[in-house]
Amino acid sequence: MKKTYVLDTNVFLTDAKSIFSFNNNDIVIPLKVLEEIDKHKKRQDGVGLNARASIRILDELREKGNLHKGVRLGKGKGILSVKMYNPDLMPLGLDETNADNQIVATALTEKQDNPKRKVIVISRDINMRIKCDALMIPSEDYIEDQVVSNVQELYNGFKTHLVDDQIVDRFYAGEDITHEDIEAKFSPNQYIMLISNSNPKHTALAKFINKNTPLEKINEYKNKGIWGLRARNKEQSFALDMLMNEDIPIVSMIGAAGCGKTLLAIAAGLDQVLDKNIYNKLVVSRPVQPLGKDIGFLPGTLEEKMGPWLMPVQDNLEFLMGDRKDTMALMMEQGTIEIEALTYIRGRSISNAFVIIDEAQNLTVHELKTIVTRIGENSKIILTGDIEQIDNTYIDATSNGLSYAIEKFKEYEIAGHITLQKGERSRVATLASKIL
């Protein structure tokens, strides 16, 4: 049975083309939503981009017919209309000037006008969905960009596997062990801990490349580290193995604060740019996501504006450079090391560079696509972040750009991922992440 979906503002600000995602069902846009979209159109970020794109799409539809009466979205699609609410249907006690309440009232109006049709409010706002439930209005999240239903299903890049004791011995002896020998299926560049089924302490760390090659031993980086850093756990060993591998130009790492993801990435970048000369420069960037305020609201020069958001990157660089801070300053002056806000990468074509995008969990799918498609020849891009620490109000742990990239790239040999689970910053930081 056909349904009618009433869309909240945040759906448009998440995905400008959302109206085409509901098959042959009808779409109702509350008039208040258009006002809310208009408020965001001047923003210089992904939200502003989606606001402007949404306005353009609706304007194109307006030219095809009357939006109040309804316009067909295309072959096999439903009808889109822009509607006002009946004030008499505003629930008692709710503030009529509140945008969410007007959207709720629009849904109630639509239900009254079409009593046989199921009317559903689509919103990315949890509180909005709770309000709808309280008023007995069906509501759903917008899940077009969700690649998994919950965080636990997200690909972690690592698997443990019980094998016969002789398999572990043969692997250490240098014999070829394939996925067929252990009767398991893996994704390209997935890391494996082989555990003897007769002795749990008898283990081996390996990496699956593809079904045509045997399992590969990894460099655990426990003795000889990178720029003074040694792997402190198996996940960090996996991370460094990927970061130092030129055959894996797309690397993603997620983990809680203190797990070492950013520090490991910068160390690998310094090694391959300054020591091995594999890449011409190290580019480190992060989104400017300061509780919704744009960088332009702060006084001062561009460098002064960016300072608060880029300070964590600066701190990691200074830690790794140690007594060579003068060298770091010179490298930054020469452009060998670049630290900049992510806003200014859009439009660039970055070649021969080791690129680190920190705090990538705050990027939308569209924003991440925009960044990754900037990467040119002989470049490597590292995406790091903590999906439990998202500051962007329009995305969550399952719909952000980083999670999307992890799931979409996992079946390609040019990409690798690892979830870092253990904090290594300090005992205080590790304990705090567990109990607070």
Q: Is the pTM of this model over 0.85?
A: no
Same domain? For 111 and 18 the reply is yes
Number of helices (H), then strands (E), belonging to the chain: the values are 13, 16
Dig out the tokens for 236 from the structure.
């960090």
Residue 219 lies in a domain: no
Count of the separate structural domains present in the chain:
2
Amino acid at 248: I
Residue 187 lies in a domain: no
Where does a domain end: 86, 110, 140? 140
Same domain? For 133 and 246 the reply is no
Where does a domain end: 121, 140, 159? 140
List all residues 6 or more positions away from 96 whose beta carbon is below 8 Å from its beta carbon: 87, 90, 102, 105
Give which of 278, 254, 290 is closest to 387, Cα–Cα: 254
Same domain? For 266 and 414 the reply is yes
Same domain? For 288 and 423 the reply is yes
Residue 204 lies in a domain: no
Same domain? For 114 and 11 the reply is yes
Same domain? For 117 and 240 the reply is no
Residue 409 lies in a domain: yes
Where does a domain end: 140, 157, 183? 140
* Residue 211 burial (CB count, 10 A): 11
Indicate which CATH number applies to the domain containing 106.
Answer: 3.40.50.1010
Same domain? For 313 and 412 the reply is yes
> What are the pLDDT tens digits along the chain (436 aa)?
899 999 999 999 988 999 999 999 999 999 999 999 999 999 877 788 899 999 999 999 999 999 999 999 999 899 999 999 999 999 998 999 999 999 999 999 999 999 999 999 999 899 999 999 999 999 999 877 667 777 888 999 999 999 999 999 999 999 999 988 888 889 999 999 999 999 999 999 999 999 999 999 988 787 777 888 888 899 999 999 999 999 999 999 999 888 889 999 999 999 999 999 999 999 988 886 543 344 455 555 555 555 555 677 777 877 887 776 677 777 778 888 888 777 667 667 789 999 999 999 998 888 888 889 888 889 999 999 999 888 877 788 888 999 999 999 999 999 999 999 876 655 666 666 666 5
Q: Which domain holds residue 332?
A: 224-435
Question: What string of DSSP letters covers 378-419?
Answer: T-EEEEEE-TT----TT--TTTSHHHHHHHHHTT-TTEEEEE
Same domain? For 107 and 236 the reply is no
Please check whether residue 363 is in contact with residue 338, taking contact to mean a CB–CB distance below 8 angstroms.
no
Same domain? For 133 and 270 the reply is no
Residue 216 lies in a domain: no
Indicate which CATH number applies to the domain containing 330.
Answer: 3.40.50.300
How far apart, in whole angstroms, are the C-alpha atoms of residue 284 and residue 193? 32
Residue 215 lies in a domain: no
Please check whether residue 141 is in contact with residue 8, taking contact to mean a CB–CB distance below 8 angstroms.
no
Same domain? For 272 and 386 the reply is yes
Give which of 391, 402, 396, 403 is closest to 126, Cα–Cα: 396
φ, ψ of residue 169 to 5 degrees: the values are -60, -45
Same domain? For 117 and 254 the reply is no
Residue 147 lies in a domain: no
Same domain? For 428 and 330 the reply is yes
Residue 160 lies in a domain: no
